[in-house]
Structure 1
Amino acid sequence: MLDFDAEERRIWSGRAAAFRDGFAKLCAHTAPALLDAVGAGPGTRLLDVGTGVGTVAAAASARGARVTAVDAEPGMIELARQQVPDAEFHLAVLPHLPFAPDSFDAVVANFVVNHVGRPAATVAAMRGATRPGGRVAATIWSSPAGAGHELLDRAVEAAGARRPADQPRLDPAEEFPRTAEGFGALFTTAGLTDVSCEPVSWDHVTTPEEWWNGAAAGVGMIGQAISRQSPETIARIRAAYDELAPRYSAPDGRLLLRYHALLATGRA
């Protein structure tokens, strides 16, 4: 079996800018609710786990929080540091966090737990870095995640393309249901109390070109299913995408993509 975490790092390596210009805008929708869940405000010592290009870190800093952030991809940290120059950044591979226990008032992770090989250990590490009484919150994608991925999946299928056989799969022993109950159970197992998990839905508005460019650059699993094809197959997928996109479009021609996620929170 492929090393899930090593494969995830390979997939994201060198793609920070492509993520920033496309899919990061999708992930930004949940940042306010995530920060509300942990009560982030002036003076809050906050750790942003898997910061990506720094979207949540920037939002927390704007609220007056004292932000520390980690990511496993150097390119992500470079872009995040440009966006949030007053935050402290570290390179770290989950579930290992380079901090003493009880270092933070709040720890958050926006669409990160679904990208690690050890989800339960990652939530436990987040709890360990949080002071007693502090709060932990995280988001993951529901299943199915949303219309944008459905559109890309349908284009791949319509083109008759085969997905790469070596895409990483989570060890069955680490798998958990992508439901409110299943995600909440990770928090309870980690020793968090006052646990709640709620669905979050929103409409993501983007252009067909922007949405395609992120996938074509290989961002995420769906991007790998497209970018690793032959040029001829990619052209067929693009043609299918262009044919399907109007079915997901608003009257102004932009894509209107309904998405679904889960937001879990608990107290250390």
Structure 2
Amino acid sequence: MGRFSAPLATSFADFGLRGLGEDMSVLDVGCGPGMLTAELVRRLGDERVSAVDPQPSFIAAVQAAYPEVDAQVASAEDLPHETATFGATLAQLVVHFMADPARGVQEMKRVTVPGGRVSACVWAHADDSGPLSGFWRAVQRIDPGADDESGLTGSARGEIVALFEGAGLREVTEELLTVALEFATFEEWWLPFTEAVGPAGAYVARLGEDRRERLVTELRREYGEGPFSLQVAAWAATGRV
């Protein structure tokens, strides 16, 4: 998903930092290998950016790339920062992975200064416009009982807004962020699915050879041989503390 989340980071940073000054500190919650972290560093400088993720390997990657960033192993539900520390706290493609999204958003609010901004985004899986929507459409044509990602928290319009308003954030607004990506060939698009990463990769890994070949046939019908372009979307919400 990194090939989609890297360009998303630009739009999400525009959205989450809108109307805020450039002299603030910011926190990237659930930073992963650092897609959003990199964009925040580019805009604000290493010394103004902090990041957390529960996976030590991701934090190690961020520390290696940006030694001056305060990167720590921690979950969204238990942030290791003082109250009212950051001018903006952002979570890109993380809410649906939180064990307790309501608590995670409350923690994001706690560490943000009064008047600061809390923002989050999740791929619009429920609206059939996420990066994996075409993959799951093909899956369900041959395996109607397969679970897709449309039920993930935040993937439908209004769900992140409800979390934010439940946490007491003010002036909550929502926007659909779009990303376009070009693929020269079907194989370029397909290769990451064979590496058993994420729900889609795990599904492919469970298939026998015959069922995998059948899925590939369906996916070629869905996308063609290439080149092709995918325009995908994520729901984003932001609110003031």
TM-score by length of 1: 0.76
Note if contact 1:41-1:63 (Cα within 8 Å) is conserved in structure 2.
no
CA distance in 1, matches of 2:188, 2:88: 33
Alpha-carbon RMSD: 2.7
**1:224 corresponds to 2:206:** no
Note if contact 2:95-2:154 (Cα within 8 Å) is conserved in structure 1.
no
SS of aligned partner of 1:63: helix
Which range is displaced more, 124-133 or 228-237? 228-237
Corresponding residue number in structure 1 for 2:160 = 183
Corresponding residue number in structure 1 for 2:109 = 127
Note if contact 1:49-1:69 (Cα within 8 Å) is conserved in structure 2.
yes
CA distance in 2, matches of 1:254, 1:146: 19
**1:56 corresponds to 2:36:** yes
Residue of 191, 197, 202 corresponding to 2:179? 202
Corresponding residue number in structure 1 for 2:216 = 238
Note if contact 2:121-2:154 (Cα within 8 Å) is conserved in structure 1.
no
**1:259 corresponds to 2:232:** yes
Note if contact 2:88-2:118 (Cα within 8 Å) is conserved in structure 1.
yes
Shift of 1:148: 4.1
- Aligned residue type for 1:197: E
- Aligned residue type for 2:236: L
**1:153 corresponds to 2:136:** yes
CA distance in 2, matches of 1:227, 1:238: 13
Note if contact 2:31-2:52 (Cα within 8 Å) is conserved in structure 1.
yes
Note if contact 1:145-1:260 (Cα within 8 Å) is conserved in structure 2.
no
- Aligned residue type for 2:218: A
Shift of 1:147: 6.2
Corresponding residue number in structure 2 for 1:112 = 94
Distance 1:148 1:182, change over 3 A: closer
Note if contact 2:119-2:239 (Cα within 8 Å) is conserved in structure 1.
yes
Distance 1:94 1:70, change over 3 A: same
Note if contact 1:144-1:260 (Cα within 8 Å) is conserved in structure 2.
no
TM-score by length of 2: 0.84
Q: Write the deviation string for residues 35-81 of structure 1: whole angstroms up to 9, x where unpaired.
A: 23324664321100011111111111111241110112222223333
- Aligned residue type for 2:127: P
Note if contact 1:54-1:84 (Cα within 8 Å) is conserved in structure 2.
no
SS of aligned partner of 1:86: coil
Note if contact 2:127-2:156 (Cα within 8 Å) is conserved in structure 1.
no
Note if contact 2:123-2:131 (Cα within 8 Å) is conserved in structure 1.
no
RCO comparison, higher one (Cα < 8 Å, 6+):
1
Aligned length: 234
**1:102 corresponds to 2:84:** yes
Identity %: 29
Corresponding residue number in structure 2 for 1:38 = 17
Extract unaligned runs of 5+ from structure 1: 1-22
Note if contact 1:41-1:64 (Cα within 8 Å) is conserved in structure 2.
no
- Aligned residue type for 2:27: L
- Aligned residue type for 1:44: M
CA distance in 1, matches of 2:205, 2:228: 21
CA distance in 1, matches of 2:139, 2:232: 20
- Aligned residue type for 1:38: L
**1:74 corresponds to 2:51:** no
